[in-house]
Amino acid sequence: MGAFFIQPLITAALVLVLTAPISGLVLDGYRFDLHWQPPLWLALAAFFIHVGLILIRRLLRPGQKAPPQQNSRQIHPTVLRTATILLPLLGLLLPFFLGKYWLTVAILALIYVLLALGLNIVVGLAGMLDLGFVAFYAVGAYGYALGQEYLGLGFWAALPLGASLAAGLGMILGFPVLRMHGDYLAIVTLGFGEIIRLILNNWVSFTGGPNGMRVDSPTLLGLEFSRRAKEGNVPFHEFLGIDYSSNHRHIFIYLILFLVVLATLSLVTRLKHMPLGRSWEALREDEIACRSLGINHVTVKLSAFALGAMIGGIGGVFFAASQGFVNPTSFTFFESALILAIVVLGGLGSIPGVIIAAIVITVLPELLRDFSDYRVLVFGLAMVCMMIWRPKGLVQNRRPVFQRRSA
Amino acid sequence: MAETPSHREPILELKNVSSHYGPVRALEGVSLTVHQGEIVTLIGANGAGKSTLLMTLFANPRATVGEVFFAGTKITHLPTHRVSPLGLALVPEGRRIFPGMTVIENMELGRTALGQQRQKVNLEFLYNLFPILKERRGQKAGTLSGGEQQMLAIARALMSQPRLLLLDEPSLGLAPMMIRKIFALIQTIVQSGTTVFLVEQNANQALQIADRGYVLVNGQIRLTGTGHELLTNPEVRQAYLGKLTHRE
Ligand SMILES: Nc1ncnc2c1ncn2[C@@H]1O[C@H](COP(=O)(O)OP(=O)(O)O)[C@@H](O)[C@H]1O
Ligand SMILES: [Mg+2]
């Protein structure tokens, strides 16, 4: 029975250590006050949650420690169907209940979902470690900013432009790295990401350098979301005869972004079961076998790079649109690492896992805003814990199971 | 034992083929033919160049000298992925299945060579041949036993409905009973109309089911003859059959 409590005790101790500096130290004027209650409560809660989990696990699996049947872990089809209808609906309604601050957080979360879905194709499905994914994100964002500055393009033209620019760049990067694997690939892509950032930072006459560039917000059928429109245009709120609110702009961006995420999601889930998606996975597992089976590893790898990059580029366009401003500091290596962390935490290749991880990793730091200094620390610890207890990620990439028809 | 039908064009023909890994020569002046409907075996010790010969058909490595013909088409310099669509399928040494993917996904990938045609592949035929794969089709391939993985590798290759099936040491690392099973399966496959080129170190079993055989030594063809001839050849018995203590 003693062993029963050991793990929960360890959990409680960990929680205590982790949360004590965050919730136990309260800033009062120029002093820190030490409050012991909050971390203790958290540790206690963690202890009971862990005990509860163990109990539940025992109840669900009485008797022998037989490995769970694969079929019993499948989600019931009606539950799945209701969820696929209900969740998008909820997502579409969500922005109307959020304040401005949380709206921007929600947009950021969706952008990270998009980025993670893109990187997931390259790293999770095709198995190529890309440490420079932020380059495509930057290309999308700057594609919009530069297109507006020099070509007078609006958001709707920037969207395909940013996407194809990023996809093209993905292909260009893809060619030299086709013959590389693992560490070498990681180093080259890392360098690539930095090169793009350095170009944006140093080509001052073209990109504005560290000062960045301003970006207009998107328009709806030519209607602007500003208080006053440019010459001759009617702003959105006047057109509808409603009061001006800066939220409209964010709600609008959120809604388009949400639809884009849904479209990407359906594309990616579908691809997973199509020959192309299968080839990505197969290539990750055994390249020689693939080639002898007739899979062209060049087109398959390039398509993974290009598609991942394209999704990253679209994310970048939305980032520029929602911020209204871009500069190179948004596209550092840390950003690449963050996106990679999302993909790894989510469980390489698992789409639901990646979505959950993206939302958790963007929303949680906002909830813990006051302790933002500890964000990276908490991240690192979360990663270490994950790798120990759930090495295959939050949601393990589950294979579709084919039911036996006859007994 | 079938006579070699010399008037017919061979389905596979190697003419004086040499292959190199960088400066290292792995094959030297290899010529061999396989005719429609035959089981032809290639035996040789470890490192003789058997796998290299098979991979040379897939231009990986490419033949540095000589020519390879498949069904009248010269394939010497075709890119690797363009070879199997012509009707060749390889069961590689060490099986090389996709361990993280399910049995059925592995098999589906075998269909790639058929390209856009999307022909209805006779899954039932394969499932009759390998009932265990039908049972395990939703299971990850990496969790199958060695023998089952070998069956999967063969089934995956057969998915492309090849005219010629190339097998690289299918008995490698299997228990004797499983080896017998695999060899019986190979004979069934030949009866269904697929030509088989079988690479083996297990010379005894391979020569027993083969119509003809070649013996490869240090990258060169040393001997050739019918299965029976080679089985009774003193040199083969000495070198590959351990002085034939277990004649069957
Ligand atoms: N990728 C490679 N690079 C360099 N040498 C190789 C490679 N693969 C095989 N060899 C060499 O080529 C020779 C033939 O090997 P292989 O064809 O694998 O023999 P077998 O299949 O008959 O055991 C061996 O000497 C082996 O060391
Ligand atoms: Mg070999």
Count of Cβ atoms closer than 10 Å to residue A97 Cβ: 8
Ligand nearest to the CA of B220: 1
Examine residue A76 and state whether it is found in any structural domain, yes or no: no
Examine residue A405 and state whether it is found in any structural domain, yes or no: no
- Contact B87/B71 with Cβ under 8 angstroms? yes
Q: Is B10 in the pocket of ligand 1 (CB under 6 A)?
A: no
Domain count across chain A? 2
Condensed to tens digits (0 to 9), the pLDDT of residues B134-151 reads: 999 899 999 999 999 999
- From B17, B18, B20, B24, mutation site for ligand 1 pocket: most ligand atoms within 8 A of C-beta: B24
Examine residue A174 and state whether it is found in any structural domain, yes or no: yes
Compute, in angstroms, the gap from residue B44 CA to the centroid of ligand 2.
Answer: 9
Residues A189 and A262 in one domain: yes
pLDDT of A68 reads: 41
Q: How many CA atoms lie within 13 A of A317 on its CB side?
A: 28
- Domain holding A352: CATH number? 1.10.3470
Domains in chain B, please, with CATH? 12-247 (3.40.50.300)
Q: Which of A38, A63, A88 is the last residue of a domain?
A: A63
Residues A360 and A213 in one domain: yes
Examine residue A403 and state whether it is found in any structural domain, yes or no: no
Compute, in angstroms, the gap from residue B155 CA to the centroid of ligand 1.
Answer: 26
pLDDT of A218 reads: 74
Residues A5 and A59 in one domain: yes
pLDDT of A377 reads: 78
Nearest-atom number in ligand 1 for the CA of B44 is: 22
Q: Residue ranges of the alpha helices (H) in A94-181?
A: 100-119, 134-146, 155-177
Is A27 in a helix, a strand, or coil? Answer: strand
Examine residue A45 and state whether it is found in any structural domain, yes or no: yes
Residues A163 and A31 in one domain: no
- Contact B56/B67 with Cβ under 8 angstroms? no
pLDDT of A230 reads: 64
**Partner-chain residue, chosen from B84, B96, B101, that has the shortest CB–CB distance to A281:** B101
Residues A268 and A342 in one domain: yes
Interface test with A, best of B80, B108, B143, B199 (most A CBs within 10 A): B80
Residue in B closest to A288 by C-alpha:
B96
- Contact B171/B205 with Cβ under 8 angstroms? yes
Residues A23 and A107 in one domain: no
Distance CA B15, CA B76 (A): 10
pLDDT of A155 reads: 87
pLDDT of B54 reads: 95
In angstroms, the separation between the Cα of residue A281 and the nearest Cα of chain B is 8
At residue B51 the predicted structure's pLDDT band, cuts being 50, 70 and 90, is: very high
Residues A234 and A347 in one domain: yes
Judge: B138–A297 Cβ closer than 8 Å, yes or no: no
Interface test with B, best of A293, A348, A396, A403 (most B CBs within 10 A): A293
Ligand nearest to the CA of B48: 1
Q: Which of A63, A89, A110 is the last residue of a domain?
A: A63
Query: What residues of B are in contact with residue A275 (Cβ under 8 Å)?
Result: 108, 112
Residues A34 and A125 in one domain: no
Calculate mean pLDDT across residues B29-45.
94
Examine residue A270 and state whether it is found in any structural domain, yes or no: yes
**Partner-chain residue, chosen from B101, B109, B138, that has the shortest CB–CB distance to A293:** B109
Q: What is the DSSP string of chain B?
A: -PPP-TTSPPSEEEEEEEEEETTEEEEEEEEEEE-TT-EEEEEE-TTSSHHHHHHHHTTTTPEEEEEEEETTEE-TT--GGGTGGGTEEEE-TT----TTSBHHHHHHHGGGGGGGG-----HHHHHHH-HHHHHTTTSBGGGS-HHHHHHHHHHHHHTT--SEEEEE-TTTT--HHHHHHHHHHHHHHHHTT-EEEEEES-HHHHHHH-SEEEEEETTEEEEEEEHHHHHH-HHHHHHHSGGGSS--
Query: What residues of B are in contact with residue A295 (Cβ under 8 Å)?
Result: 81, 109, 112
pLDDT of A60 reads: 60
The parts of chain A modelled with pLDDT lower than 50 are 62-72, 402-407
Interface test with A, best of B82, B83, B91, B109 (most A CBs within 10 A): B109
Q: Domain of A54?
A: 1-63
Condensed to tens digits (0 to 9), the pLDDT of residues B86-107 reads: 999 999 999 999 998 999 999 9
Judge: B80–A292 Cβ closer than 8 Å, yes or no: yes
Residues A209 and A266 in one domain: yes
pLDDT of B75 reads: 94
In this structure, the residue with its CA closest to atom 25 of ligand 1 is: B47
